[in-house]
Structure 1
Amino acid sequence: MTGTATQAPTTARLPYMTRTRLGVSLLFLMNGFMMGSWAPMIPEFAKRFSLSESALGLVILVYGLGSLSFMPIAGSQIGRLGSRTVTLAVALIMVPTLLLITMANALWAAVIAVFLFGGLTGAMDVAMNANAVVVERSMRRAIMSSCHAFWSLGGLIGAGLGGLLITKIGIYGHAIALTIIAAALLAVAWPRVQVDRPHPEEERPKGGLPMTPLPWIIGIMALFSMIPEGAILDWGALYLRNELSASVTLSGFGFAAFSLTMAIMRFAGDLVRDRFGAVRTLQFCSAISIVGLLIAGFAPNAFVAIAGFAIAGIGISNMVPIAFSAAGNMPGMAPGIALSVVTTMGYSGILVAPSAIGFIAEHTGLAAVFIGLPLLHVVVLMLSKLARHADGASGH
């Protein structure tokens, strides 16, 4: 989960934390919390409906298709209604969705609930990112990296607390508790979310899809950066539980450890990139993620695998923000056109690609999947020079 960086003027900046920045940060925290809470529910979901890995892969594909279906709808509605209205409406509808998934007794009902959860998660992602851009402009400072750090922090809390709550109070108690927590976060954020005016004319792209290869190549960078993130979210708990004999509680800590290191590095992301530049930062991040994924794949036990996921989180944390920033600052091209390509390709990596992993894992096992995933980041490493365009956003 990631957003775009925008260039901010260096004069007349507001204080570091404002009411509206807190509001949008809490929305990112809530969205990450809901997604993180889904991770430890997946093994129970598969067991409840006796799903094979490939069948579970299809369900996860439904989640991804829901997100990719709702994202453009959210984008069009932001132009009509403003980002605040869309974000809050979508967030409100999303609050009970994990409870609906838990309560579903028939597979068809559960699949519909998963599609709805995926769609609303994706729609909220687009809308809250748009609201973060509005807050950036009003504050005259970049805040996007820290917003996504709050998303990772939410993922950490949701995944870490989820396995523990499922063990202590059961799957239904867990679903009720996370719904209450999500509703509370939304209630606190609600009056603090930045009000913006709709600008329908700005939502209409001035041109079609770019014909030059550069945005598509950077889109591949975003795609290959995000596939391993989706793999850890959707398959990490199952890998720890089924192949490394982890307990239910321990299996939730794979994505939690990944989210913790990702959150820390995203809070530091702007400073690191300003100090070393986008290209060197991306090269370092790619190399670290390769090491972490290999450790997870070759792990002899769950604790080593969790350490591997944590190291991968350090690397993956700022790969996608750099790719998105490079797209938004591409010379001679309107930011919206390049970003529409790169964000769609990137999000498909985290939302749709993990479903294919289920079919591969059925024949190879998940350990082999995590050993193979670093090849994608080798490609990102080879393309890293293209990240130089992201340094155009370092006006903050």
Structure 2
Amino acid sequence: MTSQPPIVTSANTPATRLATRLGFLVAGFGIACWAPMVPFAKQHLNLNDAVLGLLLLCIGIGSIGAMVLTGIIATRHGSRPVIIVSGFALLAILPLLTLAPGPLYLGAALLAFGAALGSLDVAINLHAVEVEQSANKPMMSGFHALFSLGGFLGAGLMTLLLSTGSPLLIASLVCAAIMLLAMGLTAPRLLRDKPEASETLFAVPRGIVLLLATLTAIAFLVEGAILDWSAVLITERNLVDEQSGGLGYMLFAMTMVVGRFSGDALSEKLGDAKLLMISSMLSIAGVAVLLSVQQTYIALSGFLLIGLGLANIVPVLFRRAGTQSIMPPALAIASVTTMGYAGILLGPAAIGFIAQTIGLATSFWMLALLLFGVMLSTPKACK
């Protein structure tokens, strides 16, 4: 008689929690390693803002397309195989980004990089939902904090390596090796069970859900702009040199980690509406400081305010999506997630085209205006 595999009775085990945290860490680490590389790619290939924006659009196209396929594959086979394949693909593609001899090659590499990232993002969130539901207590903010921690570590390590004179290829290989170690620990600890075949992974938002999804897209758009354009912005403003271009995102990611680890306690104490209002105001103030001050250390402190503000905007919006009554919570959260990722992946490309016409700094002022819209929408979003 052929032995049957053991039945998984609980998704919430120390092993699955570790795997989930490491999966988020790898995703954040991998995409953050790209941020300090952007100025090098722009200079090496002699790209203007519009062309660079078009290349960054390849990340969004690859990610959005992969997200649709990930939903289908994960429904049939579970999130585990997608996490494994996309995680290892992400670390393998990272060094290839440094070898681009021209814009066409870089665009193809970024397309594949975005596809791996999009698949990993969706699959690890599906894995996190299973673990959180089994635990019967809030855990999502903590999981997402690991994504932010990965961003801080990835940008910090890449910036450190480049600042000490390491060649770009060597720096990317070091970062890829760390991701390889993390994925080696993640793969054997992932859930092996499959979700229900009827599970719905996408729905068109309506009513209050459409508002929540739009606000989420704005928050993610700002985060994507900081990821892809912060190094270019601060180097063009002569706040730092190219080797230190990743410092801005590193500071941003650091306060994102702090904010997300404390987000659940703050929400319980202040309430969602007040927390969303304060978070929006902090983000707007951060953009203003970054763009208005020429003194390096004061200007860079704007990244701290932006990160601290953005940290809890998305968790609050996700929480509201789960408690509204217009749509089933699962469908509402799926809609908010999809539009949110569209913002973070497609928004930075739009920034490039706008910057080509009105300047990069003015484009960032437009982000502050969008965040002001989030602040004004708080009463309706949290009623």
* TM-score (norm. length: structure 2): 0.92
Does residue 344 of structure 2 align to residue 350 of structure 1? yes
Q: Which residue of 1 aligns with 2:253?
A: 259
Q: Sort the Cα spacing of 1:217 and 1:14 in 2 relative to 1 into closer, same or farther, 3 A.
A: closer
1:153 to 149, 155, 159: 149
* 3-state SS in 1 of match to 2:101: coil
Given that 1:273 and 1:281 are in contact with CA atoms closer than 8 Å, whether structure 2 keeps it comes out as: yes
1:181 pairs with 2:175: no
Partners of 2:152 and 2:177 lie apart in 1 by 17
The one of 292, 295, 298 equivalent to 2:292 is: 298
CA contact (8 A) 2:141 2:263 kept: yes
In structure 2, the partner of 1:132 is 128
Match of 1:237 among 223, 231, 240: 231
For the residue of structure 2 that corresponds to 1:297, the secondary structure is helix
TM-superposed CA distance for 1:204, in Å, is 6.6
Paired residues, what number? 373
Separation in 2, partners of 1:87, 1:328 = 25
CA offsets per residue over residues 217-275 of structure 1, 9 Å max, x none? 11111122222111111100011111224123321110000000001110111111112
Kindly report which structure 2 residues correspond to 1:28-39, keeping only aligned pairs within 5 A, or say none: 28-39=24-35
Deviation readout 1:258-312 (Å, 9 max, x if unpaired): 0000011101111111121111110110111111111111120332232101111
Match of 1:23?
19
d(CA) in 1 for partners of 2:209, 2:221: 18
2:382 alignment partner in structure 1: 388
In the other structure, the counterpart of 1:9 is: none
Equivalent position SS for 1:202: coil
Among the aligned pairs, what percent are the same residue?
A: 34
Instruction: Indicate yes or no: 2:168 matched with 1:190.
Output: no
Name the SS for the 2:382 alignment partner.
helix
1:74 corresponds to: 70
- SS of 1:232's equivalent in the other structure is helix
Q: Residues 7-18 of structure 1 correspond to what in structure 2 (within 5 A)?
A: 18=14
Aligned partner of 1:56 in structure 2 is: 52
Structure 2 unaligned spans of 5+: 1-9
Residue 385 of structure 1: how far off its partner (Å): 2.1
Per-residue deviation at 1:163?
1.8
Paired residue type of 1:195: R
Q: Residue 260 and residue 271 in structure 1: after superposition, are their counterparts in 2 closer, same or farther (change >3 A)?
A: same
CA distance in 2: counterparts of 1:80 and 1:373, whole angstroms: 39
Kindly provide the CA deviation profile for residues 69-104 of structure 1, in whole angstroms up to 9, marking residues without a partner as x. 111111111100011222112212222111111123
Check the 8 A contact 2:283/2:310 in 1, yes or no. Answer: yes
| Equivalent residue, structure 2, for 1:113 | 109
- Name the structure 2 match of 1:5: none
Query: TM-score w.r.t. structure 1 length?
Result: 0.89
Distance 1:126 1:279 in 2: 27
CA distance, structure 1, for counterparts of residue 14 and residue 296 of structure 2: 41
5+ long unaligned stretches in structure 1: 1-12, 390-396
Deviation at 1:332, TM superposition (A): 4.2
1:191-206 matches, cutoff 5 A: 191-203=188-200
Q: Write the distance in 2 (CA, Å) between the matches of 1:357 and 1:42.
A: 14
Instruction: Give the deviation of 1:194 after TM superposition.
Output: 2.8
> 1-side partners of 2:345 and 2:368: how far apart?
18
Structure 1 counterpart of 2:204: 209
Alpha-carbon spacing, 1:14–1:27, altered in 2? closer, same or farther (3 Å): closer
Q: Quote the Cα distance in structure 2 between the aligned partners of 1:386 and 1:192.
A: 42
Q: Distance in 1 between matches of 2:42 and 2:295?
A: 22
Q: Which amino acid aligns with 1:360?
A: I
Distance 2:345 2:11 in 1: 36
1:319 and 2:316 equivalent?
Answer: no
- SS at 1:96 equivalent: helix
Matches of 2:32 and 2:201 in 1, distance apart? 33
**How do residues 369-388 of structure 1 correspond to structure 2 at under 5 angstroms?**
369-388=363-382
Following superposition, the deviation at residue 19 of structure 1 comes to 2.2
CA–CA distance in structure 2, aligned partners of residues 247 and 353 of structure 1: 26
Deviations 1:174-218 (A, max 9, x none): 11111101101111222222333232212377xx635x4221111
Distance in structure 1 (CA, Å) of the matches to 2:90 and 2:373: 36
